[in-house]
Amino acid sequence: MAEAPKVPQTEVKRRVAEFTARAKTDAPARSAAPMALPQSIEDKIDIDQEIAREQQIKNENAAQDIRLKRVTLNRLFVFLAAETVLIFVFALMQGTQWLSFHLEDWSFKLLVAATIAQITGMLFVAVRYLFPTKAE
């Protein structure tokens, strides 16, 4: 390892004196503005009020979360009900040949199977992500 360069003793004394003088001149400026303290007891933060406020915010968040879940599930239910009714109408039209409606057997089976799979998948997603388990 390289040795630190030797600084003459007079240079060290000069730097220490300069630092000390600067510290003394800055001291009155620092002490002139003491840290602001509360003027009265009313200005102090009441920990009980803060805990109650935090609990109120948590309760409001839970209520808002419940409202959002309710709206989302209602919309999902309406959509899936409408889709199911539409598939039943297609099945009725396919079976009775009403309004000259006809699908090939393979396409009709595919339509019904895809609709059932979509309804099952959407309900799975709704239950899993709108109502997570406590561990998650």
Check residues 22 and 105 and name the one with the higher pLDDT: 105
% of the chain beyond a pLDDT of 70: 76
Q: Cα separation of 80 and 74, whole Å?
A: 10
Return the structure tokens found at 77.
């239910």
Q: Cα separation of 63 and 43, whole Å?
A: 32
Collapsed DSSP state (helix, strand, coil) of residue 45: coil
Sequence spans of domains, the chain:
57-136
Do residues 73 and 128 make contact, with C-beta atoms less than 8 angstroms apart? no
User: What pTM value is reported for the model?
Assistant: 0.55
Q: To the nearest whole number, what is the mean pLDDT of the chain?
A: 80
Q: Cα separation of 130 and 69, whole Å?
A: 6
Residue 30 confidence (pLDDT): 53
pLDDT digits (tens, 9 = 90+) for 33-85: 555 555 555 555 678 888 889 999 999 999 999 899 889 889 999 999 999 99
Return the structure tokens found at 65.
């979360």
